[in-house]
């Protein structure tokens, strides 16, 4: 792989994945119970998770506020606390960079897709809006996002995360970059399996479901790589935007250095995605080529059979003429003589094709 991750980063990512399933199930129960706002406030052990019911005011001491499919009143309360307008669900889908990344009087507003591995199907492509100030972070989402659930678990247990919005945001960026890299690695492994199936096991047109599944798998993998391209491009623009407005959110020198590190990681992931996309195109062309060769071979067999049985057909046509004066008509061995001529013509035609190396 093209990625060289820091040792402490890899260890932290490994620890984060442990217990992930239990926490995601807990978060799912919370969402089903009707809790749409979760605030994280400073405590002795980290950030304390506070679930807010409808109508409850947002805590002024909150460092991170997670809005899940917020109502207009809930969104208005978050806008008042942050001093920045938060885009609505339809506005989050805008493709213009100026509509996804902009500066508000009280905070920076940034919308980006999350890694495909952390997004449920049909979740608005995992779009999340980040409203970041020097004090706190607000996230707005309209579906279950695994990366945010992992961040929630992290900030509640890790006392090294500063109780400031930018520190929480950078912890999330680390999770997002690691998740994107892992998704790209899985896509690369899936490509290797597909390539082994195509080139080693072989794809035959006489097994229609086999080659259909091979092409379908390559199509699904291409869609995954395309989604990862979009994630990398969006994250790269977000990092550049945040670097240009570092003073707005009071980023420290280590955080500015982390921006550069994240940018290099995203660039490496994107380069690997470009190479993987080229390999997928080659694999698709090779699969279609193998199927075409198989079909051509079948056509060649039928053509050969048509040519090799042409002489005996001619002999049978001659002896099938309805004339009285036909040689061998009254001959006792005439039937076997004609059969012998047909067999001999087939053998001679076959030997001729073998001699010319056409078979």
Q: Is residue 1 assigned to a domain?
A: no
Domain end, chosen from 292, 318, 334, is at 292
Specify whether the backbone of 125 is left (phi greater than 0), alpha (psi in -120 to 50) or beta. Answer: left
Residues 110 and 230 reside in one and the same domain: yes
272-290 tens-digit pLDDT: 999 999 999 998 888 888 7
E strands present in the chain: 37-43, 46-52, 64-68, 101-103, 108-113, 127-132, 137-141
| Closest listed residue to residue 218, CA positions, set 115, 294, 291, 270 | 291
Q: Is residue 303 assigned to a domain?
A: no
Residues 87 and 45 reside in one and the same domain: yes
Residues 177 and 273 reside in one and the same domain: yes
Q: Is residue 154 assigned to a domain?
A: yes
165: pLDDT strictly greater than 90: yes
Residues 179 and 282 reside in one and the same domain: yes
Residues 285 and 156 reside in one and the same domain: yes
Q: Is residue 297 assigned to a domain?
A: no
Give the residue-averaged pLDDT of 70-87.
Answer: 88
What's the pTM? Answer: 0.72
Residues 234 and 265 reside in one and the same domain: yes
Give the residue-averaged pLDDT of 58-69.
Answer: 90
Q: Is residue 53 assigned to a domain?
A: yes
- Which domain range does residue 338 map to? 309-355
Give residue 114's pLDDT.
Answer: 81
Residues 195 and 330 reside in one and the same domain: no
pLDDT band at 203 (very low <50, low <70, confident <90, very high): low
Number of separate domains in the chain: 2
- CB count within 10 Å of CB 73 equals 9
Residues 188 and 333 reside in one and the same domain: no
Residues 324 and 277 reside in one and the same domain: no
């Amino acid at each position: 792989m093209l990625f060289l991750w820091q040792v402490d980063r890899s260890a932290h990512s490994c620890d984060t994945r442990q217990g992930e399933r239990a926490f995601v199930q807990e978060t799912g129960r919370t969402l089903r119970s009707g809790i749409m706002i979760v605030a994280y406030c400073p405590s002795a052990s980290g950030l304390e998770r506070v679930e807010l019911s409808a109508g409850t005011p947002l805590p002024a001491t909150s460092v991170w506020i997670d809005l899940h499919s917020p109502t207009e009143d809930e969104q208005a309360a978050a806008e008042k606390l942050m001093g920045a307008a938060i885009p609505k669900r339809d506005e989050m889908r805008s493709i213009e960079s100026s509509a996804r990344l902009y500066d508000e009087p009280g905070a920076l507003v940034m919308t980006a897709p999350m890694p495909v591995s952390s997004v449920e199907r049909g979740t608005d492509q995992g779009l999340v809006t980040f409203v970041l100030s020097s004090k706190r972070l607000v996230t707005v989402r309209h579906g279950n996002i695994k990366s945010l659930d992992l961040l929630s678990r992290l900030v509640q247990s890790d006392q090294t995360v500063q109780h400031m919005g930018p520190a929480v945001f950078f912890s999330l960026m680390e999770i997002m970059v690691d998740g994107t890299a892992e998704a790209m690695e899985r896509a690369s492994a899936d490509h290797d399996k597909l390539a082994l199936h195509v080139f080693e096991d072989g794809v035959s047109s006489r097994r229609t479901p086999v080659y259909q599944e091979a092409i379908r798998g390559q199509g699904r993998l291409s869609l995954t790589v395309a989604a990862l391209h979009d994630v990398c491009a969006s994250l790269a623009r977000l990092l550049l935007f945040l670097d240009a407005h570092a003073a707005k959110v009071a980023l420290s020198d280590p955080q500015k250095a982390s921006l550069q590190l994240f940018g290099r990681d995203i660039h490496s992931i994107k380069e690997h995605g470009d190479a993987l996309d080229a390999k997928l195109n080659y694999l698709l062309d090779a699969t279609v080529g193998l199927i075409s060769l198989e079909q051509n071979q079948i056509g060649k067999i039928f053509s050969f059979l048509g040519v090799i049985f042409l002489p005996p057909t001619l002999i049978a046509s001659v002896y099938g003429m309805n004339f009285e004066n036909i040689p061998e008509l009254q001959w006792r061995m005439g039937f076997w003589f004609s059969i012998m001529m047909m067999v001999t013509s087939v053998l001679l035609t076959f030997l001729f094709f073998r001699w010319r190396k056409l078979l």
